[in-house]
Amino acid sequence: AQSVTQLDSQVPVFEEAPVELRCNYSSSVSVYLFWYVQYPNQGLQLLLKYLSGSTLVKGINGFEAEFNKSQTSFHLRKPSVHISDTAEYFCAVTTQGGSEKLVFGKGTKLTVNP
């Protein structure tokens, strides 16, 4: 079975500061990796995903993530955050060649302060 751990439940940062949201996964088979964002009163929206190829993946709104197979990590980064990035961020995996089921982490609440 797969599992996803997001170590930080809350991350407060100041506007224009860099941020890293951590995600580690556990799986006995190869996985695909996803980051979703949930703004208040909205559904989950895909930020980016890693399927194969370059381990550095760029997504929407200036976010990027790096897949590290040896450390089983897929940390999300942004060099300079805005107030509008305040949201909850979810890391998720599916198994390659397996089901469509997304397995989620508990989420990280990012709060960007002025």
Partner 1 sequence: EPEVTQTPSHQVTQMGQEVILRCVPISNHLYFYWYRQILGQKVEFLVSFYNNEISEKSEIFDDQFSVERPDGSNFTLKIRSTKLEDSAMYFCASSLGLAGGGQETQYFGPGTRLLVL
Q: 83 in helix, strand or coil?
A: helix
- Contact criterion met (CB below 8 Å) for 63 and 76: yes
Q: 61 in helix, strand or coil?
A: helix
Looking at 36, 63, 67, 89, which residue binds partner 1 (CB under 8 A)?
36
Q: Is 96 in the site for partner 1 (CB under 8 A)?
A: yes
**Least CB distance from residue 44 to partner 1, whole Å?**
4
Q: Is 70 in the site for partner 1 (CB under 8 A)?
A: no
- Contact criterion met (CB below 8 Å) for 30 and 96: yes
Chain positions contacting partner 1, by CB under 8 A = 31-32, 34, 36, 41-46, 49, 51, 90, 92, 94-107
